[in-house]
Copies of this chain bind each other. A is one copy, B any other.
Amino acid sequence: MDAGMKIKAAAIDLFARDGYAATSIRDLARAVNMTNAGIYHHVTSKEALLADLMRVGQLGLIDATDRLLAHRPAPADRLAVLIGSLTAIHALNPMTTRVMDGELRSLTPGSSARDEIIALRDRYEDRWRTTLAEGADQGDFRIPDQRLTRLALMAMCTGTSEWYRPDGDASLERVCAEFVAIGLASVRSRVQVSMRLDLSLLPDYPWEPHVDPRVDPAGRHPIR
């Protein structure tokens, strides 16, 4: 692995565990066995590093989602894909997604980097918005409050990054299926859907450790 990627891998790990603000360049340097100053040969600034990770993260999410949505016109199908993929991506990339979901506030307000990430996030959320709207318009869904439904379902999916363990009882497939069922139920979908998610289409974040987030072995809520 080249130095730049090693830095990103360490950064994702530290940012996800301790938070961006609580992670110092020194911590990062120590984690990759480098000098404080050495980091700056591969990284413009601490904030640019965070922005890079978030940008690539969001782009990967959008690309994967669009690939998976292709040729699926039915709203119920599309909603199933949105739920399943968002859940799987969070389960498989807990570090990256925690940073993506939780560190937007660490980007300087007004900076172009922040505006860019917000725009990407909005672009992603549009897939949800339009899917719910079309489902409602076409009579496939019955949704009293679309915003509420969207946010609650997304929270359920993204929450996965906080607790999912590949070595736990539930297979990822089952978790996704369960969440899809819940989602379709909560929009009173007329049709049921049996989704099969092609995991190979999910984004691959090269810095993601593919190691589970630390979880209390007693099975309690993860300590974070």
Contacts and interface: CB of A to CB of B under 8 A. Distances in A.
Number of copies: 4
Contact of A221 (B105, B154, B160, B169): B154
A142 interface: no
Interface residues of A, number: 43
A168 to B, nearest CB: 7
A34 to B, nearest CB: 17
A179 B152 CA distance: 9
A170 to B, nearest CB: 4
Nearest to A171: B145
Given A18-B105, A170-B145, A185-B182, A223 B152 contact: no
A22 interface: yes
Nearest to A22: B21
Contacts of A155: 155-156, 158-160, 162-163
22 contacts: A19-B106, A22-B105, A22-B106, A104-B224, A118-B223, A121-B220, A122-B220, A144-B169, A144-B170, A145-B170, A148-B169, A151-B162, A152-B159, A155-B158, A155-B160, A155-B162, A156-B159, A158-B159, A178-B186, A181-B186, A182-B182, A182-B185
Interface of A: 17-19, 21-22, 102, 104-106, 118, 121-122, 125, 144-145, 147-148, 151-152, 154-156, 158-160, 162-163, 168-170, 174-175, 178-179, 181-182, 185-186, 219-221, 223-224
